[in-house]
């Protein structure tokens, strides 16, 4: 090493004596070789990396890789929005020599990103590599957005589902009006004779799709005021008949109406309402449901349901209260692809919440050619088609009806039966499917191929626990409770499930149990006396029902707590279930409330799938 420097010094000296000038920058000597006691440092720029590739690895991430460069100390990865002006590109990361890949995260869904890589050593940096680019995965944009005018103040919206998303965000005139999991929305409280524009997007967590194309609709004009002078003048009248497809239908007492729903499994439901059946504006809708534990006929009934779903047909008045009974007969048509050619022993049944039994609907007419059945009723509830020998008038279930709280009496023999059942289910376990389990995290599952047994998939452990009945469910769900302050709880929207069978003393639309959780007065529709009902404040207006102020919801907090049970540590330990489907909180006062959650907020699952989710002991 010393010999090289001595030789270099002698050459420079000789040139200097010969009159060669080294002043300025016009002349430079570059020596490439090893300097120092074998430390491996290199003078001179390393080569640019080759084989650079970029591949989208998610909605907000891209994986970049390249080939190693001999003599490089490390690499610098640059990100750009275009393939140009690279001198001002953002430095995404710097790696060591042994790292020839990088995962770029926190990007925008559905966007194109360009990458170049440089290598460097202790003294210099290479030129840029060639360009690699990738487009992050994009969420599907909801298609078939449709708007249907219902009245002077209401427009119904519907759109097609996007597979795998958490839900949808609906915008009116570019302002967000709804975030939900469903595919329909009734926009009310609008102005008469006014045009509104709507768009919708899908989302998963914080990742959102692009907005759909806009659709517009104009509400009906308000009736013209009668002209003076007693001469007459006329005002436009509402149509005598209205209809809708796949969206709720609102009709007045003088109108006839037909609402039709087509479901993904090719089944459908149609409700025909005669004039005079309702006393005021009423909104009708239909949805599919799962045959849950409380609705499953006992084995001795010898009955099985035709098709995979029950039909929940509901009506609500202008205040959102359920309307169950009608002055005229409604005609309902259900189409079920699984309807057998032999219709003997088939019957339509409705579920009687008071007795907990299925009751036959008389006079149903089956058509095996069209796979449909037509029947008339003057009340609405849950309907299903069962095949049972002799078509008995009622089908008994394991439900005790609304007059009894499930699980109030737990005997030692029942405890032993529960333990034996859990042990038997453990023996049926297959290889655990972690992806499936994660997707079901926080959900309450019902085994639709057995007797509707209920399980809760605890989000932290990712293990399911058996909920034998209402009281056990209440105890189990509280066991997994997470403490929450009242201030944070107020940042999570309140859930209202109209099918819950609860007492509402003041008739404000909030069940007494829910009002207890909210701290409002069960005997006063307007607890804070501000002229706005507790229901409108807590649910519609998002204002404080106990005083002044706007309720500000925290979406990141809600998403983090989806599927969890939270306990109010600053109050009396009130328990709430954060439904992972709609991100709303439902009050768990007792075993009866837990039973309602099990019944109406659950998800049906096959035996083959549930056997891929691990089991824990309570």
pLDDT the model gives residue 246? 80
295 and 397, same domain (yes or no): yes
Identify the three-state secondary structure at position 8: helix
pLDDT the model gives residue 471? 61
Asked whether residue 267 is assigned to any structural domain, the reply reads yes
The pLDDT tens digits of the residues spanning 575-599 come to 788 888 888 888 876 666 666 676 6
54-68, 128-142, 379-393, 546-560, range with the lowest pLDDT:
546-560
Asked whether residue 20 is assigned to any structural domain, the reply reads no
83-97, 400-414, 432-446, range with the lowest pLDDT:
400-414
Domain count, the chain: 4
The pLDDT tens digits of the residues spanning 306-358 come to 887 899 999 988 887 888 889 889 999 999 888 888 888 899 999 887 777 88
Identify the three-state secondary structure at position 508: coil
pLDDT the model gives residue 211? 93
Last residue of a domain, one of 135, 165, 198: 135
567 and 595, same domain (yes or no): yes
459 and 597, same domain (yes or no): yes
pTM of the predicted model over 0.75: no
Asked whether residue 240 is assigned to any structural domain, the reply reads no
Asked whether residue 338 is assigned to any structural domain, the reply reads yes
Of 571, 574, 576, the residue nearest 587 (C-alpha) = 576
Residue 164 belongs to domain with CATH number: 2.60.40.10
The confidence band for 36, taking pLDDT boundaries of 50, 70 and 90, is very low
Q: What is the mean pLDDT of residues 198-205?
A: 91
468 and 588, same domain (yes or no): yes
361 and 287, same domain (yes or no): yes
Q: Phi/psi class of residue 41: alpha, beta or left (left: φ > 0; alpha: ψ in -120 to 50)?
A: beta
Asked whether residue 126 is assigned to any structural domain, the reply reads yes
pLDDT the model gives residue 398? 61
pLDDT value at 140 more than 80: yes
pLDDT the model gives residue 113? 96
The pLDDT tens digits of the residues spanning 505-514 come to 767 666 665 6
Last residue of a domain, one of 178, 205, 221: 221
65 and 122, same domain (yes or no): yes
pLDDT the model gives residue 324? 84
Identify the three-state secondary structure at position 555: helix
60 and 198, same domain (yes or no): no
pLDDT value at 126 more than 70: yes
Asked whether residue 546 is assigned to any structural domain, the reply reads no
The pLDDT tens digits of the residues spanning 460-490 come to 888 888 887 666 666 666 667 777 777 788 8
The confidence band for 616, taking pLDDT boundaries of 50, 70 and 90, is confident
421 and 315, same domain (yes or no): no
Residue 323 per-residue DSSP state: -
**% of the chain exceeding 90 in pLDDT:** 25
The pLDDT tens digits of the residues spanning 358-383 come to 889 999 999 988 889 999 998 898 99
When computed from its CA atoms, the radius of gyration of the chain, rounded to whole angstroms, is 34
129 and 178, same domain (yes or no): no
Q: What is the mean pLDDT of residues 421-439?
A: 85
Residue 127 per-residue DSSP state: -
pLDDT value at 142 more than 90: yes
CA-to-CA dists, residue 142 to 60, 77, 147, 187, angstroms: 19, 36, 14, 18
The pLDDT tens digits of the residues spanning 293-316 come to 677 776 555 677 888 789 999 998
pLDDT value at 74 more than 70: yes
| Residue at token pair 């002991």 | 617
Q: Report the 3 state secondary structure along 197-249.
A: EEEEEEEECCEECCCCCCEEEECCCCCCCCCCCCCCCCCCCCCCEEEEECCCE
Asked whether residue 43 is assigned to any structural domain, the reply reads no
Asked whether residue 174 is assigned to any structural domain, the reply reads yes
User: Structural domain of residue 68, as residue ranges?
Assistant: 53-135
The confidence band for 23, taking pLDDT boundaries of 50, 70 and 90, is very low
128 and 75, same domain (yes or no): yes
CA-to-CA dists, residue 57 to 62, 76, 574, angstroms: 5, 20, 42
Exposure string over 281-311, b if 16+ CB within 10 A, otherwise e: bbbbbbebbbbbbbbbbeeebebebbbbbbb
pLDDT the model gives residue 32? 42
Of 414, 429, 436, the residue nearest 615 (C-alpha) = 429
The confidence band for 214, taking pLDDT boundaries of 50, 70 and 90, is very high
Q: What is the mean pLDDT of the chain?
A: 79
Last residue of a domain, one of 344, 371, 404: 404
pLDDT value at 208 more than 80: yes
Say which residues have a Cβ less than 8 Å from residue 597's Cβ, sequence separation at least 6. Answer: 444, 473, 477, 577, 586, 588
Quick check: 468 and 475 in contact, CB under 8 A?
no
Sheet with 565-568, strands from edge to edge, namely 481-484, 565-568, 575-578, 585-588
463 and 595, same domain (yes or no): yes
The confidence band for 409, taking pLDDT boundaries of 50, 70 and 90, is very low
pLDDT the model gives residue 30? 42
pLDDT the model gives residue 462? 87
381 and 438, same domain (yes or no): no
pLDDT value at 236 more than 70: no
């Amino acid at each position: 090493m010393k010999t090289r420097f001595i030789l270099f010094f002698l050459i420079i000296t000789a040139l200097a004596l010969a009159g060669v000038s080294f002043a300025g920058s016009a002349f430079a000597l570059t020596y490439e070789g090893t300097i120092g006691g074998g430390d491996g440092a290199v003078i001179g720029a390393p080569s640019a990396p080759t084989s650079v590739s970029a591949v989208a690895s998610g909605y907000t991430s891209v994986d970049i890789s390249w080939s190693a460069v001999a003599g490089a100390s490390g690499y610098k990865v640059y990100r750009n929005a275009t393939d140009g002006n690279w001198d001002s590109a953002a430095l995404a990361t710097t790696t060591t020599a042994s790292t020839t890949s990088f995962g770029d995260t926190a990007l925008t869904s559905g966007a194109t990103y360009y990458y170049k890589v440089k290598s460097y050593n202790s003294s210099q940096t290479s030129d840029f590599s060639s360009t690699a680019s990738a487009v992050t995965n994009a969420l599907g944009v909801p298609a078939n957005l449709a708007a249907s005018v219902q009245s002077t103040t209401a427009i119904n919206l519907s759109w097609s589902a996007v597979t795998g998303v958490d839900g949808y965000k609906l915008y009116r005139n570019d302002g967000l009006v709804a975030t939900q999991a469903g595919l329909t929305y009734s926009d009310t409280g609008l102005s008469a004779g006014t045009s509104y524009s709507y768009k919708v997007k899908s989302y998963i967590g914080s990742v959102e799709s692009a907005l759909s194309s806009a659709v517009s609709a104009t509400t009906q004009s308000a009736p013209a005021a009668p002209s003076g002078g007693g001469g007459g003048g006329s005002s436009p009248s509402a149509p005598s008949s209205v209809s809708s497809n796949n969206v709720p239908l609102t009709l007045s007492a003088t109108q006839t109406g037909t609402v039709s729903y087509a479901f993904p499994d090719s089944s459908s439901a149609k409700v025909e309402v005669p004039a005079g059946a309702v006393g005021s504006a009423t909104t009708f809708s239909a949805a599919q449901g799962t045959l849950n534990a409380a609705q499953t006929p006992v084995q001795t009934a010898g009955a099985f349901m035709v098709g995979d779903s029950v039909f929940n047909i509901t009506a609500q008045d202008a205040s959102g209260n359920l309307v169950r009974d009608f002055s005229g007969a409604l005609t309902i048509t259900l189409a079920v692809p699984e309807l057998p050619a032999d219709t003997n022993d088939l019957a339509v049944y409705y579920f009687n919440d008071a007795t907990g039994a299925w009751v036959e609907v008389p006079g149903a007419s089956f058509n095996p050619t069209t796979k449909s059945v037509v029947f008339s009723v003057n009340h609405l509830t849950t309907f299903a088609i069962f095949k049972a020998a002799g078509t008995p008038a009622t089908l008994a279930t394991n439900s005790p009806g609304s007059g009894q709280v499930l699980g109030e009496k737990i005997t030692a023999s029942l405890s032993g039966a529960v333990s034996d059942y859990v042990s038997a289910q453990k023996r049926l376990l297959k290889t655990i499917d972690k992806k499936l389990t994660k997707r079901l995290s926080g959900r309450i599952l019902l085994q639709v191929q057995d007797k509707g047994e209920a399980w809760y998939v605890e989000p932290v452990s990712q293990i399911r626990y058996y909920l034998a009945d209402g009281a056990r469910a209440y105890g189990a769900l509280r066991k997994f409770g997470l403490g929450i302050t009242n201030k944070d709880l107020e940042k999570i929207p309140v859930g209202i499930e109209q099918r819950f069978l609860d007492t509402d003393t003041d008739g404000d639309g909030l069940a007494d149990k829910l009002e207890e959780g909210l701290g409002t007065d069960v005997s006063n529709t307007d607890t804070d006396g501000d002229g706005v009902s507790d229901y409108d404040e807590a649910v519609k207006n998002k204002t404080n029902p106990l005083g002044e102020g706007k309720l500000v919801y925290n979406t990141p907090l809600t998403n983090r707590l989806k599927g969890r049970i939270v306990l109010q540590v600053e109050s009396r330990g009130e328990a709430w279930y954060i439904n992972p489907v709609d991100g709303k909180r439902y009050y768990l006062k007792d075993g009866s409330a837990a039973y309602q959650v099990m019944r109406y907020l659950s998800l049906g699952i096959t035996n083959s799938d549930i056997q891929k989710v691990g089991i824990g002991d309570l």
